[in-house]
């Protein structure tokens, strides 16, 4: 996790860096003494602690510029006044911390920001790019119930709709995470959407049934049990 601290008061910068080093010792932390100095840095940060009252350019103005470059950066404002709290929401601030900084409050807000960060990573890694009907689409793998092999095409059955693409099953499977299992030469099933199964078929959350190859049954059961253990 890459974290930036932008505050014109050295004592506050040092205090926040010390707290963050305790909360996330593995994080990369960089400090800046002005908004201009921060904006001149081309690195993208996952989390930014931004003082509101700074000379030349205040935190709100800086945040507006940041949002144009890095829309996903979590911004936590730090200020000695509640005056700018309303404006902070206009730049999609994650939180607003008042000075003097309370350690317990600071740690609590960081933990929430860190969970948000992990959730973003999970969602990003869950996406897969497909080309269907001339459209380039990003879909969530977790939304896929199963993939069906139909002649030279694949039908991707998802929670929202079905997508038809040109690809082989083996090639498509290589781009997926380990939640998918080839239960039959014609089917690739998402183990997260299984309601029940037997030696002949798998019944999914949406009630659909797909074939199970008898010669793959025991291997499927092992894969499914491993999957359930990972989800717990």
Q: What is the pLDDT of residues 160-172, one digit of tens each?
A: 899 999 999 999 9
Q: What pLDDT shows up at residue 152?
A: 85
* pLDDT-derived band at 124, boundaries 50, 70, 90: low
* pLDDT-derived band at 195, boundaries 50, 70, 90: very high
**This prediction's pTM:** 0.59
> How many other CB atoms sit within 10 Å of the CB of residue 120?
13
Q: How large is the average pLDDT for residues 25-52?
A: 92
Higher-scoring residue by pLDDT: 100, 87: 100
Domains parsed from the chain with CATH numbers: 2-125 (3.40.50.2300), 133-231 (2.40.50.1020)
Residue 232 has pLDDT above 70, yes or no: no
Name residue 181's beta-bridge partners: 189
Q: What is the pLDDT of residues 143-156, one digit of tens each?
A: 999 999 998 899 99
Cβ-proximal residues to 113 (8 Å cutoff; 6+ apart), any chain: 47, 74, 76, 94, 95
User: Ramachandran region of residue 210, left (φ > 0), alpha (ψ -120 to 50) or beta?
Assistant: beta
Q: What is the pLDDT of residues 52-65, one digit of tens each?
A: 988 888 888 889 99
Residue 123 has pLDDT above 80, yes or no: no
Q: In whole angstroms, what separates CA 109 from the centre of its chain?
A: 18
What are the DSSP E strand ranges found in 114-176?
Answer: 127-132, 135-140, 144-150, 153-158, 162-166
Q: How large is the average pLDDT for residues 98-104?
A: 94
CA angle 4, 108, 45 (to 5 degrees): 20
Q: What pLDDT shows up at residue 149?
A: 94
Q: Which of 30, 91, 32 is nearest to 65 (CA)?
A: 91
| Average of per-residue pLDDT values in the chain | 91
Instruction: For residue 106, give Cα distances in angstroms to 12, 72, 96.
Output: 12, 21, 10
Q: What pLDDT shows up at residue 56?
A: 84
- With a pLDDT cut of 90, the percent of the chain lying above it is 67
Q: What is the pLDDT of residues 126-135, one digit of tens each?
A: 888 899 988 8
Task: Judge whether 142 and 123 are in contact, CB under 8 Å.
Answer: no
């Amino acid at each position: 996790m890459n974290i930036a601290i932008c505050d014109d008061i050295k004592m506050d910068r040092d205090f926040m860096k010390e707290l963050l080093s305790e909360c996330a010792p593995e994080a990369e932390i960089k400090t800046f003494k002005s908004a201009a100095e921060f904006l001149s840095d081309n690195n993208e940060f996952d989390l930014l602690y931004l003082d509101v009252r700074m000379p030349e350019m205040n935190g709100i103005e800086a945040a507006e510029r940041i949002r144009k470059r890095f829309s996903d950066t979590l911004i936590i404002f730090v200020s000695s006044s509640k005056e700018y709290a309303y404006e902070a929401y206009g730049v999609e601030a994650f939180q607003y911390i008042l000075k003097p900084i309370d350690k317990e409050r600071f740690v609590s807000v960081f933990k929430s920001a860190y969970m948000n960060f992990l959730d973003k990573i999970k969602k990003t890694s869950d996406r897969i790019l497909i080309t269907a009907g001339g459209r380039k689409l990003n879909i969530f793998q977790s939304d896929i119930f199963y993939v069906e092999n139909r002649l030279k095409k694949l039908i991707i059955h998802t929670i929202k709709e079905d997508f038809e693409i040109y690809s082989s099953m083996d090639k498509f499977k290589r781009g997926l995470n380990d939640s998918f299992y080839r239960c039959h030469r014609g089917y690739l099933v998402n183990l997260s959407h299984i309601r029940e199964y037997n030696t002949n078929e798998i019944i999914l959350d949406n009630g659909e049934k797909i074939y199970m190859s008898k010669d793959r049954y025991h291997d499927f059961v092992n894969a499914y049990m491993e999957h359930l253990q990972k989800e717990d």
